Structures are given as structure tokens and as C-alpha cells.
Amino acid sequence: MITMANKKTPTNTLTRNLNELAEPTGNIYETVVVLAKRANQIAIAEKKELTRKLEDFKNDRDTMEEVFENREQIEISKYYERQPKPSLVAIEEFKDGEVSYRMAKQDE
């Protein structure tokens, strides 16, 4: 299971110093690629986890009214909506050195 967000991950957008973000890779564009791939991994893991939790509520006989009235299901969904966005989590992990990456070798 993936760690959703540590306590210091902001839930809103912050202005970032691009020079600081680019330091580990030496190139802001490479940093953006690393962050995008990590954010995608986090988003996929969160979606799988949410789907797994919501499967417990699935019933073939449910009518639309019953689905909308299920309080536990609504609370689970709200919990995931309040979590920091995957891109924000990826940035914090990257800044803390928790993201490992490697560059593909270029043909010479």
C-alpha cells in the first residue's frame, strides 16, 4: 500500500523555486518528467485503493437511491477528496530525496 501523504505535504498550491527543484537532475524538464511519473504512480495506487474499498459496498441489487444514501461510502470518498493531490505528494517526496530515478543512456 502506498503512503498517501505525510503530515507536511500541503493540500494547496505553493510557489516553488524552480532552481531548487532542478538541482538534483540539473535540468528542470527532467525534474518535471520525474515528478509527473511519480505523481502518476501515486494516482494509480490511490485509485486502486479507493476502488478496493468501495467494492465492499457494491451490490448488484442496489438501486441508484441506495447508492447515494450509503454514508460510509460517502465518507470514504470524501476522505480521498481531502488528500493532497498526487503532484503535491510527488514534489514533497522529490524534495526529501525519497524518489529514486535514473536517466536513460543516450546513444552516442
Distance CA 20, CA 11 (A): 20
Query: What are the start-end ranges of the H helices in 56-100?
Result: 64-69, 71-82, 86-95
List, for residues 10-63, the tens digit of each pLDDT value: 777 778 889 999 999 999 999 999 999 999 999 999 999 988 888 877 765 555
Segment 81-108, tens digit of pLDDT: 888 999 999 999 999 999 988 877 766 5
Question: What is the residue type of 45?
Answer: A
Of 55, 81, 57, 82, residue with least CA distance to 69: 57
For residue 56, the model assigns a pLDDT of: 78
Kindly provide the residue ranges of all beta strands, DSSP E only, lying in the chain, ordered along the sequence.
none
pLDDT exceeds cutoff 90 at 5: no
